[in-house]
Amino acid sequence: MLDWTRNLSLSRSPAVVSLKRFGAFGGLGLAALVFLILGFAAKGSVVWPLVGIGIAGLGLAALMSPFAVIAEKERGKALVSSAQREAARMREQNAILQSSKNESDQILSAVRAHLMVIDASYRIQSRYSTELENVFHQGALGNENLLNIFQRLLSERLFKTSRDYLALLFDSSKKERTVAKVNPLDEVEVTVTNPDGSAGLRYLNFSFRRILDAGQIVKVLVSVEDTTDRTILERQLRESEQKKVKQFELLLGILHVEPTALSGFVALANEQLAFVDEALRASDFSSAQSGQTALLRQRLDIVMQRIHNIKGNASLLRLEHFERQAQEFEQRIMDLKHRAALGGDDFLTVVIELAEFRSDLDDLQTLRAKLVGIQKSVATYEESGDPLVQSVTELAQTLSKKYGKPVKIDADGFDSRKLPAEQRLVVKDVLIQLTRNSLVHGIEPRDERRASGKPTVATIDLHPMIGSAPGSFAFTFRDDGRGLDMAKIRSRAIASGLVDAKRAAGISDSDMAGFIFAPGFSTADTTSVDAGRGMGMNVVKQRVVDDCGGEIGIGSEPGLYCEFSFVVPMTPRVASGVGSA
């Protein structure tokens, strides 16, 4: 900061002597003070208004004294006999004022904030920092109405707010401190025309101080700082910090995952994202045909299913970052689905989300490669049993802790290792979904189980089905929870319009159970990251039946168990993809 005391040494004016006492104050406060006083002086006022200024709580009386002396001499002018002496004295005063003005000019050009004073009709007073002309890209600001400048620089909404705000500044019933707190212009983005004619974005910081005269707000001191460089730097810094933190979290989040499993996840996610891409790229988007909304909703369902699948796999590997991201993605799609009308533009957010997802996947791939290098040098991975069973057990344990429902997995004889990669992925997707469903819906809380005489630790049985058709992989998944709530399924099916009440009466429980595979069907009352959106069972059906041409069976006994059986052919049909959805 400049040493203001030294810079103010040129004049012998008593005002300057007084100012020296304030050398310890911040340069801005002092500059504002000098500016104000000289501003008034330049207009040739004879009687000095008692100027009350909020800046730094200054002892203003000390500053007023020299002007009181001037005023007294002015009043005594008629008594002075020598006209020459008076003229000489006036010249001397003018010289003092002139040098003080130079002084204030120097200060104004040196401080970073640029100052002006506005009156109650928001007119800029004649003395202001000339740099303001550059900031506002407008010359001759004296007597210009600040509102006109605001109108040119600000958005319409902010302009209206600023107009209200200027009124508050001059409203003595409003406390200055409160008014200062709601300053809408403390970091405003303005669009200005550069000298070369192009449009430029600048960030300005306005602050306001009331100037009082006999308790009345007569004027307001406005200081304007161009904070563009600082704001942009801060923003860049914030972004790069965020990126660093994210990468670090990503790295920490994958350390526990075996590299081939990570690779599998990246491959699966990319495959699913390709479906999403295709759904979003479809030509239907550009057309404005009637019924477009229904069509776009269908697209959203496809996107939703695929993202849900990624979420399930992320959760299986406990890749929390991706699980969270997929969850947010799903939420965005749900929001879109609930809109009355959909247009191609509405999908922009989805496309942006997709790009972010993909960039994170790329990061994951890069990190994975590094990780492989590290892990190779540290230890060798030992495989024991079917890693899929291991993963499902881990998922069940995580959810078990989360929901306070103890559970054990019995997977005797279940081995998916000999399955072709594609079927293995299908089986994995199915197991993820069913395990979540069991933990969230099927298995009762510990107390409830105890009350109904069941073992407090629930069991999930995962067994191969004996005697299944050759060339297929068949297994059952069974939990000893409360079973399907048929009454609820029935009422939800009716409520969501899948079947009307009359027809529902004639549908048996076992047929009714099939509705749990309908898209969007859920009996959960709330939505969580693990279940409740009603997409899960739909994904199961899509993977087993639609993608592989397999079969699903359901069995349930209220209060005792729920069992699903699956037959997955080893040789799949042609993948269904988007076209048939």
Partner 1 sequence: MKLLIVDDSDMIRRAIKRTLEKPHDQIEMASNGVEALRVIERFEPEAVTMDISMPQMDGLTCIEGILRIRPGTRILVISALKDKPTAVEAVRRGAQGFLLKPFTAEALSFEISDLLV
Give whichever of 182 and 355 is closer to partner 1, judged by the CB atom.
182
* DSSP element (H, E) containing 152: helix 146-153
Q: How far apart are CA 117 and CA 125, in angstroms?
A: 6
H/E element holding 473?
A: strand 472-479
Q: Does 486 bind partner 1 (CB under 8 A)?
A: no
Other CB atoms within 10 A of residue 571 CB: 11
Residue labelled with tokens 């040739």: 44
Compare residues 184 and 514 and give the one whose CB is closer to partner 1. 184
Question: 49 vs 184, which CB is nearer to partner 1?
Answer: 184
CB of 172 to partner 1, least distance (A): 13
**Partner residues linked to 477 by β-bridges:** 462, 564
The verdict on 205 binding partner 1 (CB under 8 A) reads no
Closer residue to partner 1, CB minimum distance, 14 or 184: 184
The pair of structure tokens assigned to 309 is: 């699948």
Candidate residues 157, 338, 502, 503; the one interacting with partner 1 per rule CB under 8 A: 157
| Cβ–Cβ under 8 Å, residues 217 and 172 | yes
Of residues 303-332, those binding partner 1 (CB under 8 A): none
Buried b (16+ CB within 10 A) or exposed e, 423-443: bbbbbbbbbbbbbbbbbbbbb
Q: Which is nearer to partner 1, 158 or 552 (CB)?
A: 158
In the complex, the smallest distance separating the C-beta of residue 225 from partner 1, rounded to whole angstroms, is 17
Q: How many CB atoms lie within 10 A of CB 136?
A: 22
The answer to whether residue 161 forms part of the interface with partner 1 (CB under 8 A) is yes
Q: How far is the CB of 56 from partner 1 (least distance, A)?
A: 20
Residue 180 or 545: which CB sits closer to partner 1?
A: 180
From 107-115, 153-161, 190-198, 406-414, span contacting partner 1 (CB under 8 A): 153-161
Q: Which long-range contacts (CB under 8 A, 24 or more apart) does 173-181 make?
A: 176/54, 176/209, 176/210, 179/208, 180/207, 180/208
* One character per residue 52-91, x = contact with partner 1 (rule: CB under 8 A): ----------------------------------------
Strand order in the sheet with 561-569: 407-410, 458-464, 472-479, 561-569, 551-557
* Minimum distance of partner 1 from residue 162's CB (angstroms): 8
Measured CA to CA, the distance from residue 561 to residue 62 in angstroms comes to 89
Stretch that binds partner 1, among 18-26, 74-82, 86-94, 157-165 (CB under 8 A): 157-165
Q: How far is the CB of 158 from partner 1 (least distance, A)?
A: 7
Token pair for 114: 């640029």
Q: Measured from the CB of residue 205, what is the shortest distance to partner 1 in angstroms?
A: 13
How far apart are alpha carbons 138 and 193 in whole angstroms? 10
Relative orientation angle of helices 156-169 and 146-153, to the nearest 10 degrees: 150
Closer residue to partner 1, CB minimum distance, 25 or 159: 159
Minimum distance of partner 1 from residue 171's CB (angstroms):
9
The letter for the amino acid at 90 is M
Based on the shown chain and the rule CB under 8 A, indicate whether residue 503 belongs to the binding site for partner 1. no
The SS3 assignment for 154 reads coil
Q: Which is nearer to partner 1, 182 or 348 (CB)?
A: 182
Using CB under 8 A, pick the residue from 22, 40, 150, 165 that binds partner 1. Answer: 165
Name the β-bridge partners of 224.
114, 206
Q: State the chain's maximal CA–CA distance in angstroms.
A: 131
164 binding partner 1? (CB under 8 A):
yes
* Min dist. Cβ of residue 150 to partner 1 (A): 13
What is the C-alpha separation between 447 and 123, in angstroms, rounded?
Answer: 74
Query: 20 or 175, CB closer to partner 1?
Result: 175
Give the range of 56-64, 167-175, 209-217, 367-375 binding partner 1 by CB under 8 A.
167-175
Task: Point out which residues pair with 217 in neighbouring strands.
Answer: 212
Smaller CB distance to partner 1: residue 173 or 508? 173
d(CA 387, CA 274): 27
Ranges within 171-190 binding partner 1 (CB under 8 A): 174-175, 177-179, 181-184
Nearest residue (CB) to partner 1, 175 versus 297: 175
**Least distance between partner 1 and beta carbon 389 (Å):** 43
Measured distance CA(100)–CA(107) in Å, rounded: 10
Check binding of 168 to partner 1 (CB under 8 A). Answer: yes
CB of 365 to partner 1, least distance (A): 37
Binding site for partner 1 (CB under 8 A): 157-158, 160-161, 164-165, 167-168, 174-175, 177-179, 181-184
